[in-house]
Amino acid sequence: MGRASLSRCRPGLLALCMGVSAPADARAAAVPTLEWDAPAGCPDVAALKAEISRHLDPVAEAAATGSIRVQARPGGAGWQVVVAIATDGRTQERTLAVASCDAAVRAAAFVIAIAVDPAQREPEDVVPAPPAPAAPPQPQPEAGPGPKPEATAEAEPTAATALAEVEPLPAKAPPGPRARRRRAVRGLVSLGPGVQAGMLPVGAGLAAGAGLAWPRARLTLGYARWFTSEVRRGGERPYGAEFSVHAGQLRGGPVLRAGPLELPLHAGIELGALQAAGSGGEPNYEATVLWGAALVGAGLAWAPRALRGFFALGLQAEAAIALRRPQFVFEGDAEVLRVGPAGFRGFLQVEARFP
């Protein structure tokens, strides 16, 4: 009397127990072989399996899945979860970024549930409806002496929130190569031989210069030394003179570029001294007069890339137009030379640039 046996079940109660436990068994059977690797303090593999079962349909047919390996590790400000799913000899791996180890369990469970039960996938073209306007707060009745309602359990994450949790962080783009800073202005020095014809009696010389170069223009100050050349006049008493020129030039103009090739255009002015020393007379006199000419020309320079733009080899051609035409005469007003109106010049130059 007053005792009831706990070792037996009534038939109706036994059937009820079996009916309640059947879905849990079906869910557990749907979960494939699972390996869980996480630091101490994280939920165990049983918690992961339980979370997976929450997303599975007990009556749905599970997809063919071999083994699943989940690894959770702290990294940076959060956690990284690696889910590797082996199916038909192939392994698919996905890396997720989450905020905590508990979130790692939920995120991994959702990814595994999608792989096991494809019906869990949401169509890509589904756009969530806009949220309904919040209803005005209802006045709450005063609490009576009755029992307080129990706190609701933590809401199960929906597909949208789970996808937000497992969205991987964007990979940082590797830093690109630093753009090479283009020099705004550079210095240059040049040296090379030159020839001229048509105006002065001299033929060969040496030219040197220094200046500034911009990406699309240049300005140079130069010096030219035209070597001594003799002019002779025949007759019963031959006579003549030796001529030489010292001159300074100022040139400037734009520069066109095409890879390592440059095409400098220039205009300028030349001022200097034209020297003459007579020969064949008694006595022989020397004279020095002011010399001037306007210059216009073009060049072609090659700056090899292998030399990083510090050296260049160039050709320069220009026309010189005399600003004054002095005349040299011998005793008895015998003309020795009158400077021509114009002439042509050519230079071969080696140029160094800095910095």
- Per-residue pLDDT tens digits for 158-203: 544 444 445 555 555 555 555 556 678 999 999 999 999 988 888 9
Q: What b/e string do you get for 328-345 counting C-beta neighbours within 10 Å, with b at 16 or more?
A: bebeeeeebbebeeebeb
Angle between helices 45-55 and 101-116 (to 10 degrees): 50
The average pLDDT across 254-282 equals: 93
pTM (2 decimals)?
Answer: 0.49
Annotate 87-103 with b (16+ C-beta within 10 A) or e (fewer).
eeeeeeeeebbbeebeb
Mean pLDDT, the chain, integer:
78
Determine the pLDDT at residue 88. 77
**Which residue, among 344, 340, 345, has the nearest Cα to 200 in the 3D structure?**
340
Classify residue 116 by burial, with Cβ atoms within 10 Å: 0-12, 13-18, 19+: buried
Which sequence spans correspond to the domains of the chain?
Answer: 14-120, 186-354
Which tokens sit at 178?
């630093």
Question: CB under 8 Å to 117, separation ≥6 — which residues?
Answer: 30, 55, 56, 57, 60, 62, 63
Per-residue CA distances from 66 to 29, 46, 84, 247 (Å): 13, 19, 11, 92
The maximal CA–CA distance of the chain, rounded, in angstroms, is: 171
> What are the φ/ψ torsions at residue 15 (nearest 5 degrees)?
-65, -40
**Is 85 a residue whose pLDDT tops 90?**
no
Based on its alpha-carbon atoms, the radius of gyration of the chain, rounded to whole angstroms, reads: 49
Task: Give the C-alpha separation, 231 to 279, whole Å.
Answer: 9
- The answer to whether the Cα torsion of 199, 202, 204, 209 is positive or negative is negative
pLDDT reported for residue 167: 52
Place 218 in a pLDDT band, splitting at 50, 70 and 90.
Answer: very high
- Percent share of the chain, pLDDT over 90: 37
Task: Work out the pLDDT band at 294, boundaries 50, 70, 90.
Answer: very high
d(CA 70, CA 101): 12
For the segment 35-78, what is each residue's pLDDT rounded down to a tens digit? 899 898 899 889 888 888 888 776 656 566 678 889 998 987 78
CA-based angle 18:20:24, to the nearest 5?
A: 100
Other CB atoms within a 10 A radius of the CB of residue 307 amount to 13
Helix (H) / strand (E) containing 105: helix 101-116
pLDDT of residue 125: 40
pLDDT band of residue 242 (cuts 50, 70, 90) is very high
CATH topology of domain 186-354: Porin (2.40.160)
In angstroms, rounded to a whole number, what is the distance separating the alpha carbons of residues 39 and 81?
A: 12
State which amino acid sits at residue 132. A
* 247/318 Cα distance (integer angstroms): 15
Fold classified for 14-120? Double Stranded RNA Binding Domain (3.30.160)
